[in-house]
Amino acid sequence: MSLIEWDSTYALGLKDVDEHHQHLVSQLNRLYDGIVYNETVDVDDVFIELVEYAKNHFDLEEKLMLDSKYQGYKSHVEKHSEFISNILELQNKYHSGNAYVDTDTMLYLKDWLFNHILKADKKYLRSIQLLQENKIVSVVKLLTQLSQLVIIV
Ligand code: FEO
């Protein structure tokens, strides 16, 4: 049984970001299945993959936010660091056999999905859309200027 079913309502409309989120959801589900249901999942490997993948994903988002001069950059980066710290903490709890890790994991991962992807990530979307719109306007202006030059020549 999956912890989270990917749904199109989670999509932000940014191809790479959405693919990353889908992959992260799939890793979270594997982790959940491995810890809660003791399914044949190498939990240690999933923890390592999850941290690596999340770091790559956060690097991409942070670059997009910087490029688009997103005002909430700093607090968003703090959320990313918090996520990595929390996953590493869960990994330690898992290794120490903490009895509450199942519930903690489930609640934390669900909370992260709903609060981060659906709220925090959606907030930077407008800055990126404005950046893309500005790029389109710049290209249109350039093409207009070029076409005027061609007429003059
Ligand atoms: Fe998609 Fe801010 O993590």
Ligand 1 and 61: CB distance under 6 A = yes
- The string of pLDDT tens digits covering residues 13-43 is 999 999 999 999 898 888 888 887 777 878 8
Q: Within a domain: residue 54?
A: yes
- Mean confidence (pLDDT) of the chain: 86
Q: How far is the CA of 79 from the centre of ligand 1 (A)?
A: 9
Q: Within a domain: residue 97?
A: yes
Contacts 24+ apart (CB under 8 A), 84-91: 84/51, 84/54, 84/55, 84/58, 86/112, 87/47, 87/50, 87/51, 87/54, 88/51, 90/47, 91/47, 91/51
The atom of ligand 1 lying closest to the CA of 117 is 1
Q: How far is the CA of 41 from the centre of ligand 1 (A)?
A: 25
pTM over 0.85: no
Domain range spanning residue 62? Answer: 8-125
pLDDT of residue 64: 93
Nearest CA to ligand 1 atom 2: 121
Number of domains in the chain: 1
